[in-house]
Chains A and B, each alone.
Chain A
């Protein structure tokens, strides 16, 4: 997917027009959310955000500026095993939708 800027992910899918159903992507997002909460990533990010806001002191910060500062590091902070698990699950979902067509 063209949105990720990291090395090592599939940049271009081999088959075009392989899409996940809404149900599949909702399930995957749900699983990812649970994993991230379990492993403490969410709490880490919340802490990180508080620190960033505290740094600014009285100056207000817009959500976009905050996102720009946090998102790159947040992506890197995702633990390896969560990343791998999601890769496997997404691959499986894509393959199953491929065979379905």
Chain B
């Protein structure tokens, strides 16, 4: 159904055609080249008041610019001109109808101009509203059932059966399914394997998402997932209770490898078929400067840790960068620096990023002064991933004893990670994070049980205890012990 504006616009077009519109749009609404920018800067001011601050309208019948409201209206009324172009967004305004009008062909011309503008400024095209094509309209009409997500709906929640000490897997899966970025990726079908999808873990996870959002409420059994992980991470195979954190890292690793493999196959297929990028294969599987690839796992979970070693003699700093998927935090008594035992997540992070004296037993060879000197080592966060996961090291394995540290560590729902960044004065950085999943371990180091709290919608928390899903309050979540904490970035930015 193509739009044709109003009859006033149609009669205007019969008289003037599209040329005036195209020119005005190209020069004053979306400046297509430098000359246009110059003309706009010099001439584009309200003829009444001289300001360019409020929305400007350009009359399409004659040369006139006017502010929204009184100025343009008085001109249009006085001259009996009907159509004007609003310059901030490029929409047509008809004075006779007192309303904005939409015309398909004009919209096409406007899009051409905006593409030219983007190309000239070497930027990407701005947001365009979605207009359904004829095919899409027909599809929508043919399938009229719509799914509306309301606050109390349980869609996206399912219990997971315990296959015999697999609660560690269940919790991690619950946390991953509730990771917003990951669920967006899988729900928009972005993974394309093409090959036998029974060996690919990413395909299996994709199927998992489909199951979770199918609307069914019966618990799932993750035997296929488990089997695939066992095949690829042999150290986890077996029927004993495994560590949830180890499972998390192993899962990310296998997903990452399979994503890379799928991308490489996709690229070799598209290269061999001779056609050049119809898909956005701009992100190749080769590593970028920091050794980070562009698969979805790295985009979401990988951050960069900066480690500065300062030589105490010459104060020379040697910096190294290491990618990380999670941050493991010590909980034990602090031995150096007279610090107190950490009681909150912030304390743990402060300890993690504190300058540590390496002691005389661990002298490092300094490249500046070329001798073995004592030094301090300090960690800081160079880049933060979109999802930061914290691992509280509650399980202590030492020569003497294996024990679990059950002390309560308070963690916040929202917090700002700016103090722990390497570059604190980064003007564009917004490092606020929100908690969205907590994995808890109940019991001792030998026998125990994992449960998870996940954030279902913005303010609803749900407790996932294998196949039992119950509502939980934020207070319950914050009072829980906390073993793995997952935080999601609030404001996502471009790189």
- Cβ contacts under 8 Å, A64 to chain B: 98-99
Q: Total number of A-B contacts with CB less than 8 angstroms? A: 11
The answer to whether A38 touches B99 (Cβ under 8 A) is no
User: Quick check: is A73 within 8 A (CB to CB) of the other chain?
Assistant: no
The answer to whether B98 touches A62 (Cβ under 8 A) is yes
The answer to whether B52 touches A62 (Cβ under 8 A) is no
Q: Closest residue to A26 on the B side, CB-wise? A: B53
The answer to whether A63 touches B100 (Cβ under 8 A) is yes
User: Quick check: is A22 within 8 A (CB to CB) of the other chain?
Assistant: yes
The answer to whether A38 touches B52 (Cβ under 8 A) is no
| Contacts beyond the supplied A22-B53, A25-B53, A62-B97: 8 A-B pairs with Cβ under 8 Å | A22-B52, A38-B491, A62-B98, A62-B99, A63-B99, A63-B100, A64-B98, A64-B99
- Interface digits, A57-82 against B, CB 8 Å rule (1 contact, 0 not)? 00000111000000000000000000
Complex Cα–Cα for A22 and B44 (A): 12
Q: Closest residue to A62 on the B side, CB-wise? A: B99
Q: Summarize B's interface: helix, strand, loop or mixed.
A: loop
Q: Number of residues in A with C-beta < 8 Å to the partner?
A: 6
- Interface digits, B482-494 against A, CB 8 Å rule (1 contact, 0 not)? 0000000001000
Complex Cα–Cα for A65 and B52 (A): 25
- Cβ contacts under 8 Å, B99 to chain A: 62-64
Chain B interface size band reads under 10
Q: Which 3 A-B pairs have the closest CB atoms?
A: A62-B99, A63-B100, A62-B98
For residues 458 through 478 of chain B, which have their beta carbon under 8 Å from a beta carbon of chain A?
A: none
Question: Which B residues form the contact surface with A (CB < 8 A)?
Answer: 52-53, 97-100, 491
- Cβ contacts under 8 Å, A63 to chain B: 99-100
B301–chain A nearest beta-carbon distance, Å: 24
Supply 11 A–B pairs (Cβ within 8 Å), ascending by A.
A22-B52, A22-B53, A25-B53, A38-B491, A62-B97, A62-B98, A62-B99, A63-B99, A63-B100, A64-B98, A64-B99
A15–chain B nearest beta-carbon distance, Å: 18
A17–chain B nearest beta-carbon distance, Å: 13
B289–chain A nearest beta-carbon distance, Å: 29
- Cβ contacts under 8 Å, B491 to chain A: 38
Q: Closest residue to B54 on the A side, CB-wise? A: A3
- Interface digits, A32-45 against B, CB 8 Å rule (1 contact, 0 not)? 00000010000000
A75–chain B nearest beta-carbon distance, Å: 15
Q: Closest residue to B45 on the A side, CB-wise? A: A22
Complex Cα–Cα for A63 and B99 (A): 6
- Cβ contacts under 8 Å, B100 to chain A: 63
Complex Cα–Cα for A22 and B491 (A): 28
Complex Cα–Cα for A64 and B94 (A): 12
Complex Cα–Cα for A25 and B97 (A): 32
Complex Cα–Cα for A62 and B100 (A): 8
A100–chain B nearest beta-carbon distance, Å: 18
Q: Closest residue to B53 on the A side, CB-wise? A: A25
- Cβ contacts under 8 Å, B98 to chain A: 62, 64
- Interface digits, A1-36 against B, CB 8 Å rule (1 contact, 0 not)? 000000000000000000000100100000000000
- Cβ contacts under 8 Å, A25 to chain B: 53
- Cβ contacts under 8 Å, A62 to chain B: 97-99
Complex Cα–Cα for A47 and B127 (A): 19
B7–chain A nearest beta-carbon distance, Å: 15
Complex Cα–Cα for A62 and B94 (A): 11
- Cβ contacts under 8 Å, A38 to chain B: 491
